[in-house]
Amino acid sequence: IAKTFDKLFENNELPTKYKELEDAPHEYFDGARNNILLIHLDHEKVNPGDVVGVSRSSRVLNQCLMYHSPAAVRAWESVISDSKYGLFEKCKNNLEQLLDSEEWKQSVEHLDTILILGAGAPSKDKLIIDSVDKLSKSLVQLIWVDVSLYMLANTAKKVMGELADSSLIKPRAIATDFEDPERLNQIMEQLGINNDGGTRATFILGFTLSNIHEDDFIRAFSEICKEGDLLIFPMEFVTDDENFGEELKNRYKSKLAIELARATFSIMPNVRLGKTEVLVNPTHFHGSSEKSYKLEFRTHVTYEGKPAIRHWVTTATATRHPRQIYLDFLKQHGFNYFTSVENHGVETLIFKFSKIS
């Protein structure tokens, strides 16, 4: 396809106008300049006509469809570049330290595949690419997985230099919903991406795991893992502080919630955004007596028209759990704690997989 994502970003054009995608070859289309990154489009999971995950009657956003526009990508970049959103930098600093750990250095020798579930953190991607270049002695397949074509294309543009300079990394991208690990595994097998011999390291570089149905995902993801595979992600755990819930609420209100709402609704016509709020409610994870917490980001939306429709829409949810409860749950599904780095309340952990007998 001659038309590239660069032009789409320049014109702020929506995927609904990009009809070429619907007729693209099932296997590949050009996702960045000079064909440096080929993106496999999963037509079963990604419809270029889906530009937003909420309709006039919806009360809960489909988070998979939040970033289907250049405006949404820019809004996300605005969030992570804001000094008030300190989680991004904490996660990045943790990742840098983790990639310098002896446990990681020993693991790289056996890696043949790296999965990055969720695009949108090129500065962290670059740390992984640099680490593999320095430590690996053999070719490593690096695959980004995201349901948003725009997030994948933006990531490709940001890491092109590092990829071009690397002789040990074979980059690919898959546009699909990684919350369906079985489907993702089928696509990788179709593309000849497998780790029959070496180890696969799967990175979730932000707090994505806490935003999805994490228990369902962990169960399903364990089914496609093999002995020795690694799972790496950051997490914020519940502390013993009795004010933890209120502190959590204060930490996440303001710009993050507002920008998430703007990113979602900016591409919908005749919409006015009102108040944005963050709710925090105690809950319990898998019957534990210890408190977990669920965050809910809500925005009051007015759809103009006759009649006008006004109601609250949940744009995102997230959970926080006690550390040991969470580690025990992961262990039940074969993910054993390996090592971690903690930085001001954010811990980035590596788990090593072992089949449950």
Which DSSP string do the residues of 166-178 spell out, in sequence order?
Answer: -SSEEEEEEES-T
The pLDDT of residue 55: 63
The string of DSSP codes covering 37-100 is SEEEE-TTT--TT---S--TT-SB--GGGTT-SHHHHHHHHHHHHSTT-HHHHHHHHHHHHHTT
Report residue 229 as tokens: 């595979």
Q: What separation, in Å, do the N-terminal and C-terminal C-alpha atoms of the chain show?
A: 48
Write down the pLDDT at residue 190.
85
Distance between CA atoms of residues 262 and 259, nearest Å: 5
Q: Which amino acid is at 145?
A: V
pTM of the model as a whole: 0.86
Q: Please state, in angstroms and rounded to a whole number, the distance separating the CA atoms of residues 205 and 106.
A: 21
Q: Which two tokens stand for residue 181?
A: 């690990």
Q: Which helix (H) or strand (E) holds 281?
A: strand 271-283
| E strands present in 160-216 | 169-175, 199-203
pLDDT at 2: 29
Tell me, what's the pLDDT at 257?
Answer: 58
Mark the ranges of the chain whose per-residue pLDDT is less than 50.
1-36, 49, 51
Q: What is the pLDDT of residue 32?
A: 36
Q: Which residues contact 172 (CB under 8 A, 6 or more apart)?
A: 37, 38, 39, 40, 141, 142, 143, 144, 191, 193
CA distances, 22 to each of 29, 183, 303 (Å): 11, 20, 29
